[in-house]
Amino acid sequence: MKNCKLSWMLVVVLSVIVAALGYKFTVGNVQPSDDGRQAVMLSKDERNALLLEMRVWLQSAQGILSAASVKDFDAVVKSAKASGMSAEAETPGSLFRKLPVEMKALGFDTREKFDDIAATAAKSKDSNLVVEKLSVAMNNCIACHEMYRFVEETK
């Protein structure tokens, strides 16, 4: 009987731990912000990594537009792949744990859209379609910036 009670206590304790970690993974490390957005609280290094990632997305977008305008589809593919899913490996795990689930979803969707742009450029060689797909991807950037700001945690 003691073993049964101990087993059930262990199940309860582990369930509470899993629920707490699941909640933290979903909600992230956010606080209300005075401008109506959510403030994502990050360390200095995490914030710098996130800002670098966003700069790379912006550079990729510019590279795609520039290359598409002269129908250089190899350059479109190269620029788009720089922001695709393969680049996700460079995202620090600590940063990923602090982002709210909606922001993670936007980030993954954006990376997939860059991969789709690369595939479309390689297959169709259609500048208009590439620009159209980039325009859709940029809506994710706008949505993220409308919802979140990135604040360095104070110690």
CB neighbour class for 113 (10 Å; exposed up to 12, middle 13-18, buried from 19): buried
Q: What is the mean pLDDT of the chain?
A: 89
Measure CA of the first residue to CA of the last residue in the chain; give whole Å.
48
Please say if the pLDDT value at position 89 is more than 90: no
Write down all domains in the chain, each with its CATH number in brackets.
29-152 (1.20.120)
How would DSSP label each residue in 73-106? HHHHHHHHHTTSGGGGGGS-HHHHHHS-HHHHHH
SS3 110: helix
82 vs 9: which has the higher pLDDT: 82
Is residue 91 within 8 A of residue 99, CB to CB? The reply is no
Please say if the pLDDT value at position 19 is more than 50: no
* Across 116-145, average pLDDT: 98
Where residue 91 falls among pLDDT bands split at 50, 70, 90? confident
